[in-house]
Structure 1
């Protein structure tokens, strides 16, 4: 039985001594990604499809693109209230996932290292593809950052289990 009158015990932050020191830096990075996703999702909900359709038509006119061809036609047809709400919901879910991961990494939780390692590793094949198709400093930087994140988190998991 819980004694309601008893003073509450504070939970002290007790980091794992084997955890990699880069976990806090990755946590900040993940929280920043979550904040950007939250801002994008909010922006989609605030704007709605009408300004997005107007901006797309302005781009088509400015760059003299064919509005009835390929991705431009698909995007023009896809900009409707339902798709904007769906994109905002996906952005919100992504933001929540990044915030949960950031909290776990900040608190040096093993599950957060697993989550971060897997979610960063998923992007590595896409990063390699981008590096081959569009070589340049940006592709190299994105690949290097994701590789470092995977390495730091995998090393953290390995050290905790051994």
Structure 2
């Protein structure tokens, strides 16, 4: 096992945060299963003082009302699986396991084409921020892995 630097630890913390947030979303979906999702969405729109007939609030209410208990269960399971993947990745990065560095590089690079598409056709500050963070992580992981390989080959 190699010496773990602060950069890998920072990426590990970010991945752990994504895992914890996903876990909370999964538990939230599990708790909400069996409830009237239309009423829940209408309450949220009302608390935010939004017009329920407005474009975005009406899309939100319609989408929430179409969620069945089975879909909510599948979404909760998906969130749990995603959370486990991110937490295992965080553990591996924190402890300097090389396979998790490769996993972080590949899993981050997979999102780049979708983020670029989103920035071109639906530009938002959140999308640009996510892209910049992801490109920094992918670049850092590539640098970390490939500089390590050249060092290993020179020995």
TM-score range, shorter chain: 0.7 to 0.9
Q: State the match for 1:28 in structure 2.
A: 13
How far does residue 56 in structure 1 lie from its aligned partner after superposition?
3.4
Structure 1 unmatched ranges of 5 or more:
1-14
CA shift for structure 1 position 90: 0.3
Query: Comparing 46-55 with 92-101, which one deviates more in the overlay?
Result: 46-55
Given that 1:20 and 1:156 are in contact with CA atoms closer than 8 Å, whether structure 2 keeps it comes out as no
Corresponding position: 1:63 with 2:52? yes
Q: 1:94 to 1:86 in 2, by over 3 A?
A: same
Corresponding residue pairs, total: 144
Q: Tell whether 2:128 aligns with 1:143.
A: no
Structure 2 CA distance, aligned partners of 1:51 and 1:106? 41
Which residue of structure 2 lines up, in the alignment, with residue 42 of structure 1? 27
Q: Distance in 2 between matches of 1:142 and 1:126?
A: 11
Q: CA deviation at 1:131?
A: 1.1
Structure 1 counterpart of 2:122: 134
| Residues 83-112 of structure 1, C-alpha deviations (whole Å, 9 max, x = no match) | 111100000000000000000000011111
- Larger CA deviation: 133-142 vs 122-131: 133-142
Unaligned runs of 5+ in 2: 151-155
User: Hey, what does 1:100 align to over in structure 2?
Assistant: 88
| Residues 73 and 46 of structure 1: CA distance in aligned 2, closer, same or farther (over 3 Å) | closer
Is contact 1:16-1:108 (8 Å) kept? yes
8 Å CA contact retained: 2:27, 2:76: yes
RMSD, aligned α-carbons: 2.6
1:89 and 2:77 matched: yes
More displaced 10-residue stretch of structure 1: 84-93 or 137-146: 137-146
Tell me the TM-score normalised to structure 2 length.
0.79
Q: TM-score, normalised by structure 1?
A: 0.76
